[in-house]
A and B are shown apart, each in its own frame.
Chain A
Amino acid sequence: MLIVLQLYFSFHSNDRQTEEAPVLSDMAEVEDTLKRIQGINGVIGTIVVNAEGIPIKTTLDNSTTVQYAGLLHQLTMKARSTVRDIDPQNDLTFLRIRSKKHEIMVSTDKEYLLIVIQNPAE
């Protein structure tokens, strides 16, 4: 009986170790990638938003982030449903909004949105 328990625990601890190591690298990787995007010329801001439109990570100030996240989430969902209504097998992957001053790019996924705002005129 004891042996079995020990085995279980050892398994458990093993699992933990293997889990934590990649988790840290994941986070670093995500941040690195975001930094890389932010480093491209003309990029004003980068925002990661979850499926409900709540910002997770941002390089902009809070109020701007909240505004962008809320509005672009709505727009993206609308665009996505449009694409899906036209063809249920299709899905929206990338949305680019060109305005006079900026270009806003949104990429979607089941769970997250990535929003990048760029000033293309530079």
Chain B
Amino acid sequence: MSSKRPKSKEARKSKGKDKSNETNPTPDGGALESVTSPPTGHPDYIFPLVLTSATQELFGCRADEDVTGENPYKLLKKEDIIKDMKTRASVSDFSPVKQLVLDYPEDELLLVFDRDFTYGQSFYLVLTVEAKENILKPSVEGDEEQMKEEEVEEEEMIIPKTPVSHPWISLGSEQEIEEESVTESRPRLRYKISPLLRHCGAPVCFSDRSALDEKEGFVECPSYQDKSFSIREMEKHTAIQASCDTKHSSTQTLWKYPKNMWTQYEPREFSPEEKEHHLRSEHLKNFITSVLIRFEISLQQNYITDVFCDDWTVLCEDDGMLAGKTETQLKEYQTFMDLHFSKEKTISHVHWHPTISGVIAVAMTERLSLEERIDNSTKLLLNPSYILFWNFTDPINPQLQLECPDDVLCFQFCPSDPNIIAGGCMNGQVVLWDISAHVERLQDTRSSSKNISNKLDKNNVTPVVRYCAVSGIENGHKAPITDIQWLPETFELSKLGIPVENPSRISVQLVTCAPDCSVLFWDLRPPRVVSHSLTDVKQKSEEKPLENPHGVPNTFKHLNLTWKPFIRVSLPKIGSSGEYSPLKFSLRDNTVDSPTGDKPPQNTDREEGCGFAQLRVPSAKQQKPLENISTKLYVGTEEGELVYTDWKMEKDNDSGRLLSTKPIHRFPLHDTLVNTVSRSPFFKDIILTVGSSSFAIWKEGVTNGPILMSAFSKKMLTVGHWSLSRPAVFFIGKEDGSIEVWDLLQNTHKPSQSQNISSAGITCIRTSSISSKQHLLAVSDCLGTLHILQIPWTLRRSSNSEKQIVRKYLEKEEERLEYFEKRQIKHEKEKKEMEAEQQRKKTEPVLPLKQEEELEAEALKKYEQFLALEKDILKNMGLLNEMEDSSDIHLRASAADFTVYNDDISTITSMKSRPIKGHLFQAANQKALLDIKGLWDMTGPIARLSCSQMLTDALDVYHREQVSLRTHICAAREISTQNDIYPAEECRV
């Protein structure tokens, strides 16, 4: 308090000052002198200062003017002080407190005028903020307190005042109060008490009585503890049902009526004017020209080589070809031979079963000549021939036998139903079999071969299938049927031979040919007239069970013995009377996409029993003709010709009868009968024909002749067959039992390989691909043995581009043919011209001879001149000495030689006197230039040189056909110059 109060009252101050003075022994005078030294007699927050009058004026605190004893305080700005210290530097009065001023936190410092020199100086500076506050505040309050103190002193004697009310402060007592007080926790109980009803209204007599007298006077309700509430709860069942919040909401879409809409795109296009405008624009031109080179480069690059060609796979392919070379031979896989049926017989035809793999059908014929046949006719009738079905699983016993009425030369499976087989007989009949009852036997053998082998003892007998139908003898062929073929299921023929749509999609028509000059077309369906009467059919069906002793399926009952062809195509000869006798034919493989795209269910038809009997020949009007089917066929004849004809019938204008058209082309090529006419499975227009001594490849539409013609072979060719997997390969079977494999890509003049298969002649070849890795070749021979051969990898694996290459090859050959034709025409023309020339020459025949003689004489003259020259030269060179005679002779001799060569006898006679005439004579006769050469060799280099020179001279004179001679001479001359015996000059002579 002492520091706070010094200025409030002088008395007090003095007291305090005294005290401080007492505590501070330092005298005031000492403090005055040492301004800079920290005064000891003042507190820390005060710094006594001496301010000069200039400083007092500057800061506005002149003693006793601005600051007085009553108002001693002056606030100085910190900035001003710092400024002052800076301007006046050490002269400044504040410099001793410089650091203290700088450290002061506030802006204003308090300067107090110490008039009484309390701290030893006239002024002091307050250095802390608290001190400043304290000094300034109490200076105001201090007086009031002072006043109060004075009053308190005065009131000590007066009565105390009433206490002033203060707000209540909670210290927890209110809780106690609350606990003590009673509040209503529930509504009060109410009791209603009423007297009995019978007492109501009754006269009441009141009397006095005491409440305690009787017990009824009051009711006591004492409180007690209810025992039932003392049970402790041990278990509690609670259940919670959770249920999701459900919300019902609904919405209504706007109903719009359906509406048919459509839109049509149209590509934007320029009008011709706009196009022209664009085409004329400079920019387009620049663009095109700038781009041209780029395009040309890449287009040419593409044409030259396939940059995206995968070399790796190609390499692999080539490698395979090379590696596979080790096994190019056909390997024997299996051989079939039946002791009872096929021995001593010829296999006439072989066919693989089209659907069951590993099953092959073989047709047998007796190996007899016609005379023998006639002699043994009765025996033959009793021993019918068979078609045998072989399976790979059983090489000993055939799986099935088809009984034939006569020897079958050819047969084929029906393309739409492989259970139907049609065959052509020796006697001209067409036979039909239905093996549907025995299919299981053919199929099952593979899977249950064990069972079969077990059963073999019991079931050893091969089932015999009798034919279902045979055509009528009087209506069929008059000669052995040599070829038979089904028409594909996609179309059928009308009576006029016009191809029409086949609605049933079952092959119902077949084509046969025989050397009786006709190609016949047969229909499996019952003819219209017969099918008309239903009763007839009924009767037949009733009779059938009785008539069926052999278990013959009645599929073709309707045809048996009455069947006749519906088209007979005759083959009238071109340019002469008579007809061609066909042996083999080939139809164009017409495949038509079926309009519906689905095949009819064949099985259902078959289940109905005789599906073919129920099929009817539709009326011609209902069927729509198919335009894109070729009705042309190639026919190979007995005379070795290939005839190209049309089966369409034409109406004869005169008689109105149907006649077959004349053949379009005829190629007499093979010298004897044609045994194969076969289309390539890859190229529909390429045909292979095989005659007995050669084969040829033809292209449909090329009328100039065969594209390829083989050389004459010494052994008879008996059959040909295209490979099914390689377009370039075909097989040729020969009389001596060997097979030639021809690969058009390897060689066209000789077979790529030849292999002997059998000791007897090959009769038939058929290929089959059992799997992608196994291709088999069935080869039958005259001795009744069927050889199954495995086709090696090289012959079954076709390279990717093989088809294209073969096509290119064929095209090239076609071009060659055309070229030759053109040349032939040209040659004929030239020939005619030549003849005309000769005719003209004959009118003046003498002149040219004379000319020749003249020329000869001239040549001789030249020769003499040359000899003279040569002699001179040689003499000059000194070489002539020893060789003169001989060279002369030889030179002459060679000259003579030459003349002899050109003009025979006269010169020879003239040369007879010469010593080497024999030699010359020989040269003349043989026209051999080598002799002349030999002559030169004998005569030596000198003669050679002169000889050649002379000869060339002579050649110039005789300028004729001896171009080759001249080249020889040139060669000779070159040799002599190369010998380098003579200087170059001489050679030039």
- Whether the pair B270, A43 counts as a contact (CB closer than 8 A) is no
Contact residues in A for B842 (Cβ distance below 8 Å): none
Q: How far is the CB of B109 from chain A (nearest CB, A)?
A: 71
- Whether the pair A112, B283 counts as a contact (CB closer than 8 A) is yes
Given known contacts A26-B280, A56-B270, A66-B269, is B302 in contact with A103 (CB within 8 Å)? yes
Could you give, for residues 255-289 of chain B, a 1 whenever the CB lies within 8 Å of some chain A CB and a 0 otherwise? 00000000000011110000110111111110111
- Whether the pair A54, B269 counts as a contact (CB closer than 8 A) is yes
Is A109 in the interface zone, CB < 8 Å from B?
yes
Task: Kindly identify which residue among B270, B279, B295, B299 contacts A30, using a CB–CB cutoff of 8 Å.
Answer: B279
Q: How far is the CB of A88 from chain B (nearest CB, A)?
A: 22
Is B379 in the interface zone, CB < 8 Å from A?
no
- Whether the pair B280, A37 counts as a contact (CB closer than 8 A) is no
Task: Kindly identify which residue among A33, A40, A94, A98 contacts B308, using a CB–CB cutoff of 8 Å.
Answer: A98
Contact residues in B for A23 (Cβ distance below 8 Å): 280
Is B298 in the interface zone, CB < 8 Å from A?
yes
CA–CA, A119 to B292, complex, Å? 18
- Whether the pair A107, B267 counts as a contact (CB closer than 8 A) is no
CA–CA, A29 to B290, complex, Å? 12
Could you give, for residues 43-70 of chain A, a 1 whenever the CB lies within 8 Å of some chain B CB and a 0 otherwise? 1000010101111110000000010011
- Whether the pair B283, A111 counts as a contact (CB closer than 8 A) is yes
- Whether the pair A33, B289 counts as a contact (CB closer than 8 A) is yes
Which of B270, B278, B291, B292: most chain A Cβ within 10 A? B291
Contact residues in B for A109 (Cβ distance below 8 Å): 287, 290-291
Report A76-116 residues with CB < 8 Å from chain B CB.
93-94, 96, 98, 103, 105, 107, 109, 111-112, 114, 116
- Whether the pair A116, B280 counts as a contact (CB closer than 8 A) is no
Q: How far is the CB of A30 from chain B (nearest CB, A)?
A: 5
Given known contacts A54-B269, A56-B279, A66-B267, is B284 in contact with A105 (CB within 8 Å)? no
- Whether the pair A118, B302 counts as a contact (CB closer than 8 A) is yes
Task: Kindly identify which residue among B267, B300, B308 contacts A70, using a CB–CB cutoff of 8 Å.
Answer: B267
Is B179 in the interface zone, CB < 8 Å from A?
no
- Whether the pair A40, B288 counts as a contact (CB closer than 8 A) is no
Contact residues in B for A54 (Cβ distance below 8 Å): 267-270
Is A36 in the interface zone, CB < 8 Å from B?
yes
| Size class of the A contact interface (CB-based, 8 Å) | 35 or more
Closest residue of chain B to A94 (Cβ to Cβ) is B294
CA–CA, A66 to B270, complex, Å? 11
CA–CA, A109 to B284, complex, Å? 9
CA–CA, A37 to B281, complex, Å? 20
- Whether the pair B299, A36 counts as a contact (CB closer than 8 A) is no
Contact residues in A for B283 (Cβ distance below 8 Å): 111-112
Which secondary structure dominates where chain B touches chain A?
helix
CA–CA, A97 to B306, complex, Å? 14
- Whether the pair A42, B303 counts as a contact (CB closer than 8 A) is yes
Contact residues in B for A98 (Cβ distance below 8 Å): 308
Could you give, for residues 14-42 of chain A, a 1 whenever the CB lies within 8 Å of some chain B CB and a 0 otherwise? 00000000110011011101101100111
- Whether the pair B299, A116 counts as a contact (CB closer than 8 A) is yes
- Whether the pair B288, A114 counts as a contact (CB closer than 8 A) is yes
Closest residue of chain A to B282 (Cβ to Cβ) is A26
Give the A-B contact count at a CB cut-off of 8 A: 101
Could you give, for residues 677-699 of chain B, a 1 whenever the CB lies within 8 Å of some chain A CB and a 0 otherwise? 00000000000000000000000
Closest residue of chain B to A109 (Cβ to Cβ) is B287
CA–CA, A103 to B288, complex, Å? 19
Contact residues in A for B278 (Cβ distance below 8 Å): 48, 50, 56, 112
Given known contacts A37-B299, A48-B284, A114-B295, is B279 in contact with A27 (CB within 8 Å)? yes
Is B296 in the interface zone, CB < 8 Å from A?
yes
- Whether the pair B280, A40 counts as a contact (CB closer than 8 A) is no
Contact residues in A for B282 (Cβ distance below 8 Å): 22, 26
Task: Kindly identify which residue among B280, B289, B302 contacts A120, using a CB–CB cutoff of 8 Å.
Answer: B302
Task: Kindly identify which residue among B285, B288, B303 contacts A122, using a CB–CB cutoff of 8 Å.
Answer: B303
CA–CA, A119 to B896, complex, Å? 66
Contact residues in A for B308 (Cβ distance below 8 Å): 98
Contact residues in B for A3 (Cβ distance below 8 Å): none
Closest residue of chain B to A119 (Cβ to Cβ) is B302
- Whether the pair B279, A40 counts as a contact (CB closer than 8 A) is no
CA–CA, A69 to B282, complex, Å? 22
- Whether the pair A112, B284 counts as a contact (CB closer than 8 A) is yes
Contact residues in B for A40 (Cβ distance below 8 Å): 296, 299-300, 303
Given known contacts A30-B279, A57-B275, A105-B299, is B284 in contact with A36 (CB within 8 Å)? no
Contact residues in A for B285 (Cβ distance below 8 Å): 26, 29-30
Q: How far is the CB of A64 from chain B (nearest CB, A)?
A: 11
Q: How far is the CB of A112 from chain B (nearest CB, A)?
A: 5
- Whether the pair B299, A118 counts as a contact (CB closer than 8 A) is yes
CA–CA, A122 to B305, complex, Å? 10
Is A5 in the interface zone, CB < 8 Å from B?
no
Closest 5 CB pairs of A and B: A120-B302, A66-B267, A107-B291, A40-B299, A41-B303
16 CB contacts below 8 A, A to B, read: A22-B282, A30-B285, A33-B292, A36-B296, A37-B296, A48-B278, A52-B268, A55-B269, A109-B287, A111-B283, A111-B287, A114-B287, A114-B288, A116-B299, A118-B299, A120-B302
- B residues with a Cβ closer than 8 A to A are 267-270, 275-276, 278-285, 287-292, 294-296, 298-300, 302-303, 306, 308
Can you name 16 extra interface pairs (CB under 8 A) apart from A30-B279, A120-B306? A26-B281, A33-B288, A36-B292, A40-B299, A42-B302, A42-B303, A43-B299, A54-B267, A54-B269, A54-B270, A93-B294, A94-B298, A105-B298, A107-B294, A112-B287, A122-B303
